[in-house]
Amino acid sequence: MPVSTQNPSYELYKPIWTKTREAIKGAVAVKKKAEEYLPVPHNESHSKSKGAQTVRYKQYLTRAVYTNFIARTKNAFVGAVFRKSPILELPKALEYLRDDATGDGLSFEQLAKDELSNLLETGRAGFLVDYPSADENLSAEQVALLDLKASIIPYTAEQIINWRADNVNGRKVLSLIVLAETYMDDEDDEFSNETKTQYRVLRLTEEGYSQQIYRDDKPYSEQVFPTKSNGEKWYEIPFVFVGAKNNDSTIDDAPLSDLAELNIAHYRNSADYEESCFLTGQPSLFITHSLSAEAWNDYNPEGVVLGARAGHILGETGSATLVQAAPNGIVREAMLAKENAMVAIGARIITDRGGNETAEGARIRFASENSVLGDIVNNLSAGLAVCVEWVAEYMGANNGDIVVKLNTEFYDKSVDPQLIMSMITLLDRDIIGEQDIFDRLQSGGVIDSERTLEDVKSERGLANPLV
């Protein structure tokens, strides 16, 4: 089988990822798919005139309104997580990861933001920790001048086309991963923007972990065996999956896929509603008259013109009536039902509760969404922590001082004055410590998240206001 062979699970889930991503991109991406997301009306599909059908469908498509609820929901979730900066404690040799985690200038926090967005859209992402290769003929001093550093390379769900996990001593170990990458094909034209696909194959055999590049389904490079800082080969593939439920190699459901389905269905209802408004919103004029054709043309040479500035002679028994269809509320009701359904599965920002709900009530109402988001954030923290540990092995740094943790407090905790006074009483009785009170004030936003208890103590001097 060729290197481009796709895992059966990949083939099953890719259409779901595509639809969710296009729904998030917005009206341009959704309308570009035309009939795939907005079918041709039934009576039009059997029209004898294909040209008329095309013109009418274009008008039908143009009038349809796509309201991007799903993108706003995703941005709200990402904003809730990154309202506080991630906690990142690194040994000195790895401090460069804060500003350049990927080797191309993307900071660690930006990397985490991007991958949280990917996880919300597809429920799956992957990270490869790699070290740039240097020419074997270079001296140690020349390699040092190059300032080569290990980096964390993210891969989307669509790029991870194939994988295999083998059972080794009762533990599942990744033995094969195939990653689809793009490269610029500018051999003949330096101004060309044409890209092609290559496949990076990661293998784990008895000889150790290796990489190899394929192009046009054929090996393009030699098999390379990366080594750690001490020269040893890797006996695991430094690649980690991150999922919506857990971090194994199986594909998890995309958290926002249900919302994408509803958002596109809402768009279809909108097309029918807008066409109904267009067709029935214009009154139709019905005229009866007793004139001959010649007399009619003599009395009304310009035809019939609607408006107060035109008069018409209809004869002795003539009459004119404006008829307008009653509004069709069925489609509008269907749209409102879908909006309510979107609210129920997480799109809470599309409705205004008028400020009557308490913060505690909101936390309870969104507990299910928070638990899903909390799982994703914890999985991403765990995956990134493993990556940083692998970077430490490449760079020869101590990995015992590494802490990676993304924020899981999606709402500000309320600061109850009575609770704080009670905590002070408990402090006086040596039941809790100063750190407990400090943490509560910090989680409530009273104390800046960047400050520590030691900072506060040093600023206030020797005075102890708690005594």
Per the domain annotation, does 291 fall within a domain? yes
Residue type, 437: I
189 vs 383: which has the higher pLDDT: 383
Per the domain annotation, does 386 fall within a domain? no
pTM of the model: 0.77
Final residue of a structural domain among 300, 323, 346: 323
Q: Which domain holds residue 429?
A: 412-467
Of 79-83, 145-149, 288-292, 425-429, highest mean pLDDT: 79-83
pLDDT digits 0-9 by tens, 37-67: 999 886 555 555 555 568 888 888 998 889 8
> Please, what is the average pLDDT of the chain?
82
Per the domain annotation, does 467 fall within a domain? yes
Quote the CA–CA distance of 370 and 349 in Å, as a whole number: 14
pLDDT digits 0-9 by tens, 178-218: 999 998 876 667 777 788 899 999 999 999 999 999 999 89
Per the structure, the count of domains in the chain is 2
The string of DSSP letters for 49-112 reads -HHHHHHHHHHHHHH-----HHHHHHHHHHHHHTTSPPEEE--GGGGGGGT-SSSSS--HHHHH
Per the domain annotation, does 463 fall within a domain? yes
- Kind and range of the H or E element at 273? helix 257-280
Final residue of a structural domain among 323, 348, 377: 323
Per the domain annotation, does 250 fall within a domain? no
Final residue of a structural domain among 294, 323, 352: 323
State the first-to-last Cα distance of the chain, in angstroms, to the nearest integer.
76
- Kind and range of the H or E element at 344? helix 330-344
pLDDT of 140 > 60? The answer is no
Indicate the DSSP class of residue 167: E
Per the domain annotation, does 390 fall within a domain? no
pLDDT of 354 > 70? The answer is no
Quote the CA–CA distance of 142 and 144 in Å, as a whole number: 5
Quote the CA–CA distance of 151 and 100 in Å, as a whole number: 8
Per the domain annotation, does 460 fall within a domain? yes
Of 224-238, 310-324, 437-451, highest mean pLDDT: 224-238
User: In the structure encoding, which two tokens stand for residue 303, read together?
Assistant: 């035809």
